[in-house]
């Protein structure tokens, strides 16, 4: 049974902080952040916005664009590592805000940045299990990446949400059935209960990411069908390769490792090894770089990162990629990873507009003092600021209960 992503929609906050300005404020050469990480700007959420409002805004835009009645959604999954309650799921708030029917399976998924892929795979299996009966799931990955002011992780913040309609008529991406997975209990990134900002062992986290990539890739390569010839690399079968990208340079490191692993598994390794760096750089420019433009201007979106890359790629290159195969790698600290593939349908151009370009074009750039004020205020709720592009707001928190409201849809159009 054919299953995949029928359409995507993206939401990012209306504020963004240029990393060059942050670097100067922290006494760091700007190129250490902009070139060292590959990030130009990071999205900043105002106090009236949280993971619920972002997820709901992305979901509402998707349902309108796809002309889908919320009552027909049978499963609603929200993946996030910045949940708002230790018991009550983000998904049930979103369920109410979007007007999804009561006959719906609703829950939140958490496994650091891998949760978006966990939700996608769960939804795809649920659609397949319908036995031909029409089933559609709404999957939303949404997060606000936060690190303490002045900390080493501060330049890798960001915020955003990607909503995906998963069903039997995929026009954005047809999911392949083979995947490669890997899991290991590591402390590379974590956020203890009671902390708003995450803790991270940066160097170790990169090592864990690359180890998980090796494990997932090796598993996938062995499961590839039809089987690879002894002289054939998996990369030869892919038009693009997308990675979980907390920052673009992480995708560059990951692809360098993948290219080496891929060619080592072939009988051509002896010929490739002397020019590995050149081959890896060329492969990165062709397969990976085209999908990183949005990440460079939004920053880290945790569970949504991989799917922001996908949405951006389809929006800019969807027509040219029609009929071709993409590779996708998802990593979540802690850790779990999965490598899978998908084919871009012939009619992708009809659904390629996920709102990425429009969202980036209408943002307001802020300075460091404003960023620090917004960060310290946190999710206090209140009235939306001028230029606010969301469709939902957090009014406030009363008696430990979060109160949300919907603005006119026209404000988000």
Catalytic residue among 6, 111, 113, 379: 113
The reply to whether 244 belongs to the active site is: yes
208 an active-site residue? no
Active-site residue flag, 267: no
CA distance 110 to 108: 7
CB burial of 375-409 (b: ≥16 within 10 Å; e: otherwise) equals: beeebebeebeeebbbbbbbeeeeeeebebebeee
Neighbours of 97 (CB within 10 A): 20
The residue behind tokens 């299953």 is 3
Options 6, 41, 81, 154, the catalytic residue: 81
Question: What pLDDT was estimated at residue 105?
Answer: 97
Q: How far is CA 215 from CA 71, 152, 315, 331, in A?
A: 40, 28, 31, 11
Give the per-residue pLDDT at 139. 99
Residue 187 contacts residue 335 (beta carbons within 8 Å)? no
CA distances from 273 to 144, 218, 265, 267, 286 (A): 41, 19, 12, 11, 19
Of the residues 154, 244, 315, 317, only one is catalytic, namely 244
CATH fold, domain 4-412, is Peroxisomal Thiolase; Chain A, domain 1 (3.40.47)
* Per-domain boundaries in the chain: 4-412
Neighbours of 20 (CB within 10 A): 16
Kindly report the backbone phi and psi dihedral angles of residue 182, in degrees, each rounded to the nearest multiple of 5, phi listed first: -155, 140
pTM confidence score: 0.96
Task: Encode the chain (413 residues) as per-residue pLDDT tens digits.
Answer: 899 999 999 999 999 999 999 999 999 999 999 999 999 999 999 999 999 999 999 999 999 999 999 999 999 999 999 999 999 999 999 999 999 999 999 999 999 999 999 999 999 999 999 977 789 999 999 999 999 999 999 999 999 999 999 999 999 999 999 999 999 999 999 999 888 888 999 999 999 999 999 999 999 999 999 999 999 999 999 999 999 999 999 999 999 999 999 999 999 999 999 999 999 999 999 999 999 999 999 999 999 999 999 999 999 999 999 999 999 999 999 999 999 999 999 999 999 999 999 999 999 999 999 999 998 877 788 889 888 989 999 999 999 999 999 996 544 44
From the list 5, 42, 43, the residue with the least C-alpha distance to 390 is: 43
pLDDT at 409: 58
The phi and psi torsions of 242 (rounded to 5 degrees) equal -110, 145
Q: Which two tokens stand for residue 269?
A: 């390794």
Beta bridge mates, 137: 75, 166
């Amino acid at each position: 049974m054919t299953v995949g992503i029928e359409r995507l929609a993206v939401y990012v906050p209306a504020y963004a902080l240029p990393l060059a300005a942050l670097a100067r404020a922290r006494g760091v050469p700007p190129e250490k952040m902009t070139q060292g990480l590959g990030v130009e700007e990071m999205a900043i959420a105002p106090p009236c916005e949280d993971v619920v409002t972002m997820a709901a805004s992305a979901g509402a835009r998707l349902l309108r664009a796809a002309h889908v009645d919320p009552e027909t959604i049978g499963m609603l999954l929200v993946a996030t590592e910045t949940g708002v309650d230790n018991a009550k799921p983000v998904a049930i708030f979103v369920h109410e805000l979007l007007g999804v029917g009561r006959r719906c399976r609703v829950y939140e998924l958490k496994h650091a940045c891998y949760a978006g892929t966990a939700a996608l795979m769960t939804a795809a299996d649920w659609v397949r299990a319908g036995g031909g009966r029409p089933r559609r799931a709404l999957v939303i990955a949404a997060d606000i990446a936060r690190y303490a002011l002045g900390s080493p992780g501060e330049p890798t913040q960001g915020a955003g949400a990607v909503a995906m309609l998963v069903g039997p008529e995929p026009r954005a991406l047809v999911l392949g059935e083979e995947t490669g997975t890997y899991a290991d209990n590591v402390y590379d990134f974590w956020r203890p209960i009671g902390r708003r900002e995450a803790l991270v062992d940066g160097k170790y986290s990169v090592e864990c990411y690359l180890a998980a990539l090796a494990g997932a890739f090796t598993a996938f390569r062995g499961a590839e069908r039809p089987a690879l010839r002894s002289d054939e690399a998996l990369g030869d079968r892919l038009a693009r390769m997308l990675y979980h990208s907390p920052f673009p340079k992480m995708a560059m490191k990951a692809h360098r490792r993948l290219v080496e692993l891929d060619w080592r598994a072939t009988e051509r390794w002896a010929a490739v090894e002397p020019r590995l760096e050149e081959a890896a750089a060329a492969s990165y420019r062709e397969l990976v770089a085209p999908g990183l433009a949005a990440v460079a201007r939004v920053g880290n979106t945790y569970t949504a990162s991989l799917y922001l890359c996908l949405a951006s790629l389809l929006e800019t290159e969807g027509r040219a990629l029609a009929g071709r195969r993409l590779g996708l790698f998802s990593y979540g600290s802690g850790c779990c990873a999965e490598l899978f593939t998908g084919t871009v349908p012939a009619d992708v151009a009809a659904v390629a507009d996920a709102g990425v370009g429009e969202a980036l074009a209408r943002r307001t750039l802020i300075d460091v003092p404003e960023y620090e004020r917004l960060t310290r205020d946190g999710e206090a709720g209140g009235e939306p600021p001028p230029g606010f592009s969301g469709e939902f707001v957090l009014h406030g928190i009363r008696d430990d209960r979060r109160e949300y409201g919907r603005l006119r849809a026209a404000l988000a159009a």
